[in-house]
Amino acid sequence: MSMSKTGQAAEKDEQQQSRGIALMQGICAVVYRKADNTPCPIKQGLYLGSVGAAFNKDALKSLNITHILIVAKSLDPVFPAEFNYKKIEVLDIPDTDLLKHSDECFGFIDEAISSGGNVLVHCFAGRSRR
């Protein structure tokens, strides 16, 4: 087999794997939107949740959440016209080093709370919350 065909086959496999992952995340997102859709208070002005909480616009509005910190590579803002977003592109896996992003995250959280708003911090499924 020539090098270009091998490269094309590898690229096709990678595309299929990406589509499979996207499909599984879509299915999980539907489940989380129903089963895990409530932001949990951590302290005054700070809430933690999964992707389900980020999709729950009624809860976000009722809790005066104005800022949303996404800590996941595969997620994008759901309501970009209604909330102030910041995205930290990391994988939601147990080995992810979240500490190297702490200054950036804490700055965003402080900005939200000091401006009188509340902030939701969410990932996809909470795999790296340790």
What residues act catalytically?
123
d(CA 111, CA 52): 24
Tell me the H-state helices in the chain.
3-35, 51-55, 57-62, 102-114
For residue 63, the 8-state DSSP code is T
For residue 100, the 8-state DSSP code is G
